[in-house]
Structure 1
Amino acid sequence: MTTKHGTFSLWTLLGRTSAVALAVGLGAGAAIGQKAFQGTPSIVSGDAYIPPSTDSVSLNSTQAVIDWTPDDRGPASAGTIDFLPQGNTVTFSSFSDFTVLNRILPLDGNGLPVSRAIAFNGTVQSQVSGSPPSAGGAVWFYSPGGIIAGANSVFNVGSLVLTANAIDISNGLDRNNIRFAGPAGSTSSVELLPGAQINALSVGSYVALVAPRVVQGGTVTVNGSTAYVGAEAADIRINNGLFDIAITAGTTDASGVVHSGTTNGPESAGSADPQRIFMVAVPKNNALTMLLSGNVATRQRRRSPRTGAPLCSRRVPTSPMTSTGTSSPRATPRRRWRRVSASDRATGGTT
């Protein structure tokens, strides 16, 4: 055991370096004697209890940082690490809202860092205790070799971050200002395979996938804001349920963001209930083409032109889109927003 005390709408983003973007505005546990997460935890900060089965993480503090060393100590050539096998469930919980950063850091047989992707093939859920418990809390996962959410993976969470870029905690864990920084030239990715599910259904939830290459082929449903960010380094500020995204180092990947799955959410209840989906990629050296297809749907609430009274809602799917742009590697992105229709192409040019 480990214990330590202590109305959706559609937008595009045009940037100085052609940051191209699109914005539209619980399971069975691990068997006895087995481990759910295939790794050994070390609590870096905060107060948490993790049993030997690793099928639960109970937080007694509002924030925690946990380092995980995978049990699989193979070399880089051994390929992807099955960190959460199919059929296993891990539950993060607390008595109040919380944020927990899980840093999954693969080592080889000599105890040296090794670049290997880690895979989730089971279920991750987070909840705040009550009668009954409710989905809540923010669960963040970082692994430098990349993260793969397999076809059978399910995330039922309050909010979620999946990233291949290290998260800066030099000034503590700031849940509203997340600073991502990967090594220069990184080609690591975050990938959701077809069949993967992310459900963040609490009001004001968020989901962020951040890596030099982001591939969304699964189904993501968020009652709040969603961001797919293709970059080596980025800052995300969460402000009243919306993302303010600044790219500080672009990506060398040819696409940055590839979307072929489904991303959606419930109807916005009004201005106090923002619903947005952001897709952002900045080319570091060469032109970049985001590949956007699948279903990115908006739900619009129509009102009577005569009385202003709400009418029935309608769901507006986007058509397949492609975004391109070029940049100077020394330039700093500058954000500028303009509203477009759902059928427009999101195309960036140097400004």
Structure 2
Amino acid sequence: MDVERMIRTAQAVTGAGRGILAADESAPTIAKRLATIGVESTEGRRRSYREILATTPGLGDFIGGVILFDETLRQQVADGTPFAEAFARQGIVPGIKVDAGTRPLAGSPGEVVTEGLDRLRDRMVEYEAMGARFAKWRAVIRIGDGIPTAACLEANAHALARYAALAQECGLTPIVEPEVLMDGAHDLATCARVTEAAVREVYAQLAAQHVVLEATLLKPNMVLPGTDCPEQVGDEEIAEATVAVLRRVVPAAVPGIVFLSGGQTDEQATSRLDAINRQGPQPWELSFSYGRALQAPVLRAWGGDDGRREEAQKALLHRARLNSAARQGAYLPEMEG
């Protein structure tokens, strides 16, 4: 286990004002994304779209890492270069999503647990040989009537910790992602309470599994009121609540926190990240690991027409530049233009 290399990977993907492009959509998810622009999800169309991401000139100035899906890691760009290598040429560290999605949690109606531990060691050995340098596993926590339960938080945190220990054994820097969903009518305080409980349990389980925290990254949700909550709040209040929760439960040994965008709009994800970074110096890098919040403008610009590749790449570079500014507390709304 090369701990020093894993630490360098964690630092590389979040250093120098950079963040992560999450391009790890499963087959059903990418099909839904392509359907929004009227494009059928075939292997060729998926490869063509993701080649736009991999070959965007200058993307490495703002993006330090990319999370890929199994299919993409096995594909090549048009000139025969593997996707992992195409991203690496731009100074973007390739990573891989390794979980197998969620299933209902037995005995806990309305709750889910993430699966994928079976044969995970073998898969990660293969991924590392194919050029991946970090991995990601997502847990899903829902807020509702009587949930999440302690059993749900423990089951998902335990799976995250077992995955993280396996990842480090295989030389991959693990990103642990306990996502508290925005769905629901809960208020900001409820999200803060649940997020704190979820992340606290994750670090308890990581310690139990002997995971080296310096060679990990945390990918949490921001603390937000539910989408159906009648009391929505401003970016400053979201930033204060988010930082307060993280300062209580995330050890200073963790090198970076890369927020997910969840159901936020492109602009919301950027503006709120900026507000978080304006809260003052913190023990960790505060960056981003955005999927839809980076890719939505790209899909709209491309529209399935490969003749619009340059336009789509400009859209990606623009969004990446804005998020890079936000993770340094230097974003301004007028930069959207």
TM-score, length-scaled by structure 1: 0.29
- Structure with greater strand percent: 1
